[in-house]
Amino acid sequence: MPKPNNIDKLIINGLIDNLSQGEREDLADWIKSSPVNEQRYELLQFRWKARELYDNWESIDLDKNWKAIEKKSKRRSFLSIYQNSIFRYAAVFALILTTIWLFDRISSTSFQNNENKVKRYMLPDSSKVWLKPKASIQFNERSFDEKREVLMNGEVFFEVQKSIIPFTVIANESKVEVLGTSFNVKLASQSTQVILIEGSVSFSSQSQKVRLKPGEKIEYDGTKIEKITDDIDMNLIGWKTGIFKFSNEPLHLVLEQLSPYYGIEFKIADEKRNLLVTTSINQISLDLIIEELKFILDINVVKNNRIITIN
């Protein structure tokens, strides 16, 4: 495995096809060591190959251009550093980063949910995604027909359009791969959770790989994958489905789960937070839910636009 301070040099030489056999093997080992590394290099490779949109690499004469700059500068002692191989790599790397940034502007698409309600988006292949508040996704629109890959943060529900081209979700150092299915991915700072609704998915991270069946869940804490095949609490995806079932659940936890689906912020008086709720909800209106809670808990409810106060 290459050392961290050598990886940039390997990446640069890999992109310009200037690696020895040993270096090729080192780079291949680094790429295979995690889904994130694989995604990073493939994205760099794709964008580097598309650099002709802006310039022709073969026509760039770094030595000639640098000498022209050097003649116009009085700081020759500083410019002489260019003769050092490290500075040469820095110049090439800066050019690569500039190219990547320019190509990013026209190829990378991002969706971010900054609202207090669930938002739905359509991907280029007609797959659908639901983003919980504060969630985000990113994908390459130009290459999506050939490589269906999505980077995500937060919690996202996917309904994947069936295709012979695999659909891949990258969440930190984890990867979920499917052909066509429905599943939920929740990415937290130190963990990843996947719940499969229908179809089949494989979840992998580092050297571990697990396949899920409908109704199963995996939890990954950054070290090991735990597969759960017992009855899954479907309230975990209620934020998307609108279907909930509560049995002696504290009121504040009930409203916390209802909040993203209905796009409402709840404020609860301290003395009401732990009132116990037993009820089933199946995509009914918020007004009906409030009326039911008022009846069974004897509470006062004040609604002000998208904020509901309970006391």
User: Domain range for residue 248?
Assistant: 242-310
| 237 in any annotated domain | no
For the chain, the domain total comes to 3
Q: Evaluate whether residue 236 is within a structural domain.
A: no
Q: What is the pLDDT of residue 97?
A: 60
Which of 205, 231, 257 is a domain's end point? 231
Mean pLDDT of the chain: 81
Q: How far apart are CA 1 and CA 30, in angstroms?
A: 6
Considering 42, 74, 107, which residue would you say is the last residue of a domain? Answer: 107
- Claim to verify: residue 81 and residue 28 sit in the same structural domain: yes
In this structure, what CATH number is given to the domain that contains residue 153?
Answer: 2.60.120.1440
Q: Does the residue 269 lie in any domain?
A: yes
Q: Which helix (H) or strand (E) holds 128?
A: strand 128-131
pLDDT for residue 236 is more than 60: yes
This prediction's pTM: 0.66
pLDDT in tens, 175-222: 999 977 899 999 887 789 999 999 989 999 877 899 998 999 999 988
Residues 272/295, Cβ–Cβ less than 8 Å = no
Residue 254 falls within a domain, yes or no? Answer: yes
Query: 225 and 120: one domain?
Result: yes
Per-residue pLDDT of 84-116, as tens digits, reads 555 555 655 665 665 555 555 446 788 999 998
Q: What is the mean pLDDT of residues 262-289?
A: 93
Cα 300 to Cα 268: distance, rounded to the nearest angstrom = 10
Does 79 map to a domain? Answer: yes
Residue 172 near residue 158 (C-beta atoms within 8 A): no
Residue 54 lies in a domain: yes
Is the confidence at residue 82, as pLDDT, over 50? no
For residues 202 and 92, membership in a common domain is answered with: no
